[in-house]
Amino acid sequence: MPKAKDSGSARQIPVSFVIQYSPKEIASRVAELGEEIGRWCSRVWEESHTDVLVVPVLRGGVFFFADLARQIPDSVEIVPVRTEAYEATVSGVKKEKVTVHSDGLAVKGRVVLIVDDVCDSGRTLEALEKDFLEKGAREVRSVVLIRRLLDKPTFVPCWVGFEYDGLEWFVGYGMDDGERWRNLPGVYVIRREP
């Protein structure tokens, strides 16, 4: 596959990768989100004297989570979670199912912030919120780096870094293309040849 140089480094990336959000744009937006979310975390502490429980969704949300957590001025507790999305056929109708792997995650009475990379349909975030509320969380909010603009979203996060109108696949900054290129510092879209 032909490669192109990553701007500002010697990294060789596929030519089909087109930069969508540069490291500088991401850093600026993450700092703004950290400030907004930090104000909320401060209120939670003042009201309850408990830290917000921050739950990054593995694996794609890890880069965004790490940068965001460092921008929140107050202490937060961190517990990652893993999810799996798959299609199941129920009575002849295909439905997307999301399995939440949150065993041992004590959320009862806690205020929770879910951190993920992308919100497409929103089913993963919806399943996580439902799971945490059923387990007794006092409040659940969510933040994503990118929200894909769809006609009928299932779920809308509380905070969004960027909104994207299109169906291209994202790669970099934690997001992968066939388990590759998660470690790119920016977010790229993959332009498929016609």
- Please list the active-site residues: 120
In angstroms, the CA 54 to CA 38 distance is 12
Record the tokens describing residue 120, joined without a space. Answer: 């497409």
The pairing of strands 3-5 and 12-14 is: antiparallel
Q: How many CA atoms lie within 13 A of 40 on its CB side?
A: 20
3-state secondary structure of 112: strand
For the chain, first and last CA: distance in Å? 16
Judge contact between 23 and 185, C-beta under 8 A: yes
Judge contact between 89 and 63, C-beta under 8 A: no
In angstroms, the CA 190 to CA 7 distance is 16
Q: Kindly report the length of the chain.
A: 194
The pairing of strands 12-14 and 17-21 is: unpaired
